[in-house]
Structure 1
Amino acid sequence: MLPFDAKPASPVLLSGSAYERGHAQATKAGVSDQQIRTAVLGRVDQASAAGLLDTDGLGYIEAQRAFLLTEDPDTMAELAGIADGFGLMEDDLFVHQHITILRDLKTAAEIDTDGCSTWAVGDSEDGPLVVKNRDFSGTHLGVQRVFLHEGPDIATGRMICVGSAGSPGAYSSGINAAGLALVDNHVGTRRHGVGWLRYFAMTRILATCRTVDEAVAFIAARRHAGGGNLVLADRSGATAAIEFGTDTFGIERGAASWRTNHFVTAKMMDCNLLENGDRIDENSSVRFDFLSRMVPNRRWNVAAAAALMASHAEDGPDMAPLCQHPSRDDSQTISTVIYRCDKASLHFLEGNPCSGEWRLFEMPV
């Protein structure tokens, strides 16, 4: 029986080489060129107006491009396919992937932030679960898609990614046919460097790793651009939360894992870059404390997870704003996803989880 009368749905199938999968977004995602320009180029223009694309910023972008062309040619090829398919400049799409890092490098810049609340449990009535509220710019409402990727670079067979048209791979979260699921959070950090972009690493992990152990080893063996958290679980019930530095990480493992938008481990907490007046940064600790009370202290299932992610601060004492509504130009909750590792399936809702329609996506056999 499906919870919340969730309607079975089919993901957007992208097959072939990484370039071919990127190119196919333009014809298969059902998103207009204008929607992509608003979602992607609007943020790039905002970054330019905020002074992020100065000499230092562009120098960092070029160093990142050289690094990733060598270290992650498949995701770079997918990005090139997206650019060609939508008739956009690849440079603009590449900058869009790095805006949060550029914002950290110039901390006075005025540009919208992204947030997210995430958690995982290794044992529930519905098996291991991985859950995320995606808090991001409202311009991405309408361009989010659930993509099914299959191709020669995906050693795990297939992967289903929740992302946005105009961006490659797991530009938010995903699960592969082996039952490894992952979700991420933005975290502003004082320490960035040239290295793997978190979104690109997420895609490669899903394409090549089958377990949390393999994913942790993948991350530990590479240099990263820094910033952000990752929460993972696999079919065996292993979970982990990983806080990204450049060549060091905060890693916690256990029966349950959860994160919001700041670092909490001893290794990484001094790297937090929090902005006064930013709603996401200011309520991150409240949301983290709420998840700390809730996640490890009850028996979960998909329906209960969905109810938790619809929580608001005004719902009662000791509640927290996991479901964030638009206010001014702040980020807002634009979707919720609940992954079942045992079935390699996901429940997805676009918009605020306190309303809207749930859909169920299952991995094809």
Structure 2
Amino acid sequence: MTLLLLTHAACGLAAPAHTFTPTKTRTAELRYIDDVPVAIFTGTPEQIGQQHADLLAEPGKAALDFPKRFAAEFGLEAFWPFMAQAGRTLLMNTPERHQNELASIVQRSGFGDGELAVANTLLELRRMGCSSIIVEPSRSATGGPLFGRNFDFATLGELHKYSILLIYRPEGKHAFASVGFPGLVGVFSGMNDAGLSVATLDVEASADGSRKFNPAGTPLAFVFRRILEECTTVDEAEALLKSETATTWMNLAVCDRDGGAVFEITPETIARRDDDQSLVRCTNHFRSEGLTVGETCDRYDALGKLPATSLFDVSAIQARLHVANQERLTFQTMVFEPRELILHLALGEPPSSDDPLTRIELTSLFNAP
């Protein structure tokens, strides 16, 4: 099942040197900040879906072709209808506004709804490994928390070319930034205009007796988007998580202007893990009592090897993330500064963890002109 549904891993599809073309319309824009492509969407769900299609249709078609190409490469074409239908069924559990946004993307872009459904239910239909670390204000050289994260997934030489920073200004909701891909409406990594930041990390085992997949749950990438759209603090994020039914096992690292926590999620349990010596580390295992199965992780240990008496800046956090990188799997590296609304971001050829970080001040991007 896991192998079948590694939906964004693909092969044999070449992207141009500059995957995205700068474009500006009356309500949307695609531009570069240094080497980071940035797409900006504003308005109602339907308007945002149309803008997404207008700016990202061409690279999106290539990116969203990955699931079918992957299945064909491994002789699994027969499973595609199941994958697509599973994704469509899960999307029926998402908020109506997100379904409307997806429908507008399909209508305007020509994307197949099956490809879009699979891409947006990745957290239910695939496995990936990541690392994150939150430094509380008491150990930060900036005076505010720092939140670093590696996103790790098998690119097979292609997926990293389609990474993009998506800026959403949804009507009646918090503006937010999401580090993702064309066609992705849910959130894997992001920060909103209140400084609340999230990063999802996969988990393979749980001791709470819950089933690994609950088809009656809400796809988690959309739950995490709701957190950015509706919440301003870690406590509010916790309350929202507890109001939802989870589809699968997952870690979610969350940080606000004052500090962070990790939520260990199953279809039966939401456990909160706060800081240990002013650090909140996370990889791909549960560590809370009742959830942990006793796994060890070298990356988790490496993230904690920080001198107890030192204060840490962005470069120190990146250095820890680089120690924890997974070589050809690590292709997005980021550090959030929630108080300052600053994102430091590297996208590109794996491993991205030792690439220069582009400093992106999100305040101006969140504010409509």
TM-score by length of 2: 0.76
Return the match for 1:22 from 49, 54, 63: 49
Equivalenced residues, count? 317
Indicate the residue corresponding to 1:150 in structure 2. Answer: 169
Partner of 2:16: none
Give unpaired runs (5+ residues) of structure 2: 1-32, 206-210
Q: Deviations over 1:311-359 (max 9, x none)?
A: 2xxxxxxxxxx22222xxxxx1111011100111101101323543421
SS of the counterpart of 1:116? strand
Shift of the alpha carbon at 1:83? Answer: 2.6
**Residue in structure 1 matching 2:268, options 247, 258, 268:** 247
Give 1:88's aligned residue: 111
* CA displacement at 1:166 relative to structure 2: 1.5
Q: Relative to structure 1, is the Cα distance of residues 85 and 125 closer, same or farther in structure 2, using a 3 angstrom cutoff?
A: farther
User: What is the deviation of 1:300?
Assistant: 1.5
2:312 paired with 1:300:
yes
5+ unaligned residues in a row in structure 1: which ranges?
A: 1-5, 104-112, 275-283, 312-321, 327-331
Name the residue aligned to 1:314. none
What displacement does 1:245 show? 0.5
- Tell me the residue number matched to 1:140: 159
Q: Percent identity?
A: 22
CA 1:87 to 1:54, structure 2 compared with 1: closer, same or farther past 3 Å?
Answer: closer
Deviation at 1:247, TM superposition (A): 3.0
User: TM-score when scaled to structure 1?
Assistant: 0.77
Change (3 A) 1:243 1:258: same
- Aligned with 2:232 (options 202, 210, 215): 210
Q: Is the 8 A contact 1:47 1:99 kept in 2?
A: no
Q: Is the 8 A contact 1:222 1:247 kept in 2?
A: no
> Any conservation in 1 of the 2:132–2:321 contact (CA below 8 Å)?
no
Counterpart position of 1:221:
243
CA–CA distance in structure 2, aligned partners of residues 37 and 195 of structure 1: 24
- Contact 2:91/2:219 (CA < 8 Å) preserved in 1? no
Moved more, 250-259 or 80-89: 80-89
Matches within 5 A, 1:273-284: none
Matched, 1:117 2:131: yes
Which AA in structure 1 matches 2:131? S
Measured in 1, the distance between the counterparts of 2:251 and 2:56 equals 28
Could you tell me whether the CA contact under 8 Å between 1:256 and 1:296 is conserved in 2? Answer: no
Structure 1 residues 13 and 61, CA gap change in structure 2 (3 angstroms): closer
Q: CA 1:41/1:14 → structure 2, altered by over 3 Å: closer, same or farther?
A: farther
Residue 13 (structure 1) aligned to one of 40, 43, 66: 40
Counterpart-to-counterpart distance in 2, 1:13 and 1:49: 36
2:203, 2:108 → 1: CA distance? 31
- 1:353 is aligned to 352
Bigger CA drift: 199-208 or 222-231?
A: 222-231
Q: What is the match of residue 187 of structure 1? A: 203
In 2, distance between residues paired with 1:115 and 1:31?
A: 28
- Structure 2 partner of 1:159: 176
Distance 2:75 2:307 in 1: 40
- Give the 3-state SS of the residue equivalent to 1:265 in structure 2: coil
Residues 28 and 247 (structure 1 numbering): CA distance in 2 closer, same or farther, change over 3 Å?
A: same
- Structure 1 position 167, deviation (Å): 0.8
Which residue identity does 1:42 align to in structure 2?
R
